[in-house]
């Protein structure tokens, strides 16, 4: 058995307790000064102060890791990404800088549809290679679990290809990948006005194959004006649930369409984006136990107003934060950017942001029993920051502070700060 003992962490963030954390609970990250963690193989077996755990271990049997001067915390869970895609859309970013809107670019044939052809044309090997590279960048930021969506194929073969690539990468790469089927991501010209038929095809042709090969555990849809309306989205989500998929929804991003209320009605695990969520929608998500997943780097990239994260927490919601990494609306997976936006523009405390990026992110991908906190029995997914306190995270703005990443008990990333 491999035995490792981390001791003398200046601040040990455990995020222990209820999962997900709602409202005021989000500020409680279970911080331990001079903290220590005992790891056996891939699991955490004890967490406490160094003084307490020193009494439990015979240091001669352990690989001792001195964390003096460091912050030690759970690996981040990036619970919303579209990281498998072909091609790039840098031209669209430059058009937006000149004043075009995301939706106007989409309406003239750009946007999500512009990623479909290069994703269809890419071989599985090419998608694997690009995907692996992106996973390596995630790991450097301390991300140890990521959610990834299909949705750039919009035909059966390409949707399955995207999901198979993620399944293979999950087996090969240290970062754990949770897979989501997002067939109804956009409406191709040939399906315009026939959205319900497109959804029927997803439900009757594509999704049974996804189930057969166990390629995705979540189903998601882009519910938006001029994309999929509330009625079609409700039908899709209700049917997907009957097939055994857990639900996610891209909701109330550009227009207030009632996606938050729909998420509550269908019992989605999470509703994501929520820039325009109504007060009633926020209350309904809270009461139905839907996690509000906020994607502030997308709002930043699109120059939109941020989702009302402060209000959601004050209302008692469980808020998660994720990157939304994708080739269009948000081509970044920078955790320091998310921290800065959460703290500076969304008026969240650093404790709330940490909860949103760890245990609540884990709950948003239904992994809160395995990852997202440092507690006995959980997977040893642990990040070391170079500095001694969580307060350096927003303060050393935009800088990646990650020094070491442990995944399932093994050191998988280390950076020498010289």
Q: Does 308 bind ligand NIG (CB under 6 A)?
A: no
Closest CA to 30 of 384, 286, 386, 372: 372
Q: What is the largest CA-CA distance in the chain?
A: 70
Half-sphere exposure of 411 (CA within 13 A, CB side): 14
Closest to Fe ion by CB, 224 or 324 = 324
The yes or no reply on residue 153 touching ligand NIG (CB under 6 A) is no
Helices 279-288 and 259-266 cross at an angle (nearest 10°) of 20
**Non-local CB neighbours of 8 within 8 Å, separated by 6+ positions:** 34, 36, 50, 66, 67, 68
Q: Which does 327 bind (CB under 5 to 8 A by kind): Fe ion, ligand NIG, none?
A: ligand NIG
Quote the least distance from Cβ 270 to Fe ion, whole Å: 11
Q: What track of x and - describes contact with Fe ion for positions 148 through 187 (by CB under 5 A)?
A: ----------------------------------------
Asked if 233 interacts with ligand NIG (CB under 6 A), we say no
- Tokens representing residue 326 in the block: 């994708």
* CA dihedral (62, 140, 386, 380) positive or negative: negative
| Interface with ligand NIG (CB under 6 A), residue from 223, 329, 358, 373 | 329
Positions of E strands within 213-285: 218-219, 246-251, 270-273
Indicate which single residue of 48, 327, 361, 394 sits in contact with ligand NIG (rule: CB under 6 A).
327
Beta-sheet strands, E only, within 67-157: 71-74, 76-78, 143-149
Of 7, 82, 173, 286, the one binding ligand NIG by CB under 6 A = 82
Residue 118 or 267: the one with the smaller Cβ distance to ligand NIG is 118
Which range touches ligand NIG (CB under 6 A), out of 24-32, 274-282, 327-335, 359-367? 327-335
Give the sheet arrangement for strand 176-181, strand by strand.
76-78, 143-149, 176-181, 218-219, 246-251, 270-273, 291-294, 319-321
The C-alpha atoms of residue 22 and residue 24 are separated, in whole angstroms, by 6
**Using CB under 5 A as the criterion, what x/- string covers residues 301-330 for binding Fe ion?**
-----------------------x------
- Of 150, 180, 233, 326, the one binding ligand NIG (CB under 6 A) is 326
Closest residue by beta carbon to ligand NIG: 328
User: Exactly one of 11, 195, 253, 261 binds ligand NIG (CB under 6 A); which one?
Assistant: 253
Only segment of 43-51, 108-116, 202-210, 366-374 that touches ligand NIG (CB under 6 A):
108-116
Q: Among 238-246, 310-318, 324-332, 376-384, which window interacts with ligand NIG (CB under 6 A)?
A: 324-332
Question: Count residues contacting ligand NIG (CB under 6 A)?
Answer: 14
- 78 interacts with ligand NIG by CB under 6 A: no
Other Cβ atoms less than 10 A from the Cβ of 329: the count is 26
**Positions in 282-301 near ligand NIG (CB under 6 A):** 298
The smaller minimum CB distance to ligand NIG, of residues 105 and 264, is found at 105
CA distances from 103 to 108, 193, 253, 313 (A): 9, 18, 11, 29
Classify 250 as helix, strand or coil: strand
**CB-based contact 36:49 (threshold 8 Å):** yes
Query: Minimum CB separation from ligand NIG for residue 92, in Å?
Result: 8
Binding stretches for ligand NIG (CB under 6 A): 82, 111-112, 115, 222, 250, 253, 298, 324, 326-330
Binding stretches for Fe ion (CB under 5 A): 324
């Amino acid at each position: 058995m491999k035995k490792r003992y981390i001791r003398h962490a200046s601040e040990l963030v455990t995020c222990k307790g209820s999962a997900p954390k709602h409202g005021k609970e989000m500020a409680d990250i279970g911080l331990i000064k001079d903290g220590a963690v005992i790891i056996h193989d891939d699991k955490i077996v004890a967490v406490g102060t160094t003084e307490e755990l020193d009494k439990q271990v015979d240091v001669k049997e352990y690989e001792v890791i001195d964390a003096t001067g460091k912050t030690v915390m759970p690996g981040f869970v990036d619970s919303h990404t579209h990281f498998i895609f072909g091609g790039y859309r840098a031209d669209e970013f430059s058009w937006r800088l000149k004043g075009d809107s995301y939706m106007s670019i989409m309406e003239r044939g750009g946007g999500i549809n512009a990623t479909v052809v290069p994703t269809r044309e890419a071989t599985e090997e090419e998608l694997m290679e690009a995907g692996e590279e992106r996973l390596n960048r995630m790991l450097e930021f301390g991300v140890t679990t990521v959610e990834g969506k299909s949705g750039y194929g919009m035909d059966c073969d390409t949707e399955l290809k995207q999901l198979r690539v993620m399944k293979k990468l999950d087996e090969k790469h240290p970062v754990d990948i949770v897979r989501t089927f997002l067939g109804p991501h956009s409406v191709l010209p040939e399906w315009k006005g026939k959205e319900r038929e497109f959804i029927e095809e997803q439900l009757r042709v594509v999704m049974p194959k996804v189930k057969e090969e166990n390629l995705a555990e979540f189903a998601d849809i882009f519910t938006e004006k001029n994309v999929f309306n509330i009625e079609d989205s409700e039908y899709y989500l209700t049917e997907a649930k009957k097939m055994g998929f857990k639900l996610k929804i891209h909701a109330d991003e550009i227009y207030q369409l009632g996606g938050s209320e729909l998420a509550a009605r269908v019992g989605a695990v999470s509703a994501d984006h929520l820039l325009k969520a109504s007060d009633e929608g926020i209350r309904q998500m809270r009461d139905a136990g839907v996690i509000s997943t906020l994607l502030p780097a997308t709002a930043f990239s699109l120059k939109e107003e941020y989702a009302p994260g402060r209000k959601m927490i004050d209302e008692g919601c469980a808020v998660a934060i994720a990157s939304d990494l994708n080739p269009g609306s948000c081509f970044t997976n920078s955790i320091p950017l998310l921290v800065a936006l959460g703290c500076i523009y969304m008026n969240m405390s650093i404790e709330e942001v940490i909860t949103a990026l760890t245990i609540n992110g884990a709950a948003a991908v239904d992994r809160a029993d395995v990852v997202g906190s440092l507690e006995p029995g959980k997977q040893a997914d642990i990040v070391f920051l170079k500095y001694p306190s969580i307060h350096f995270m927003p303060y050393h703005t935009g800088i990646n502070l990650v020094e070491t990443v442990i995944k399932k008990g093994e050191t998988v990333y280390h950076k020498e700060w010289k």
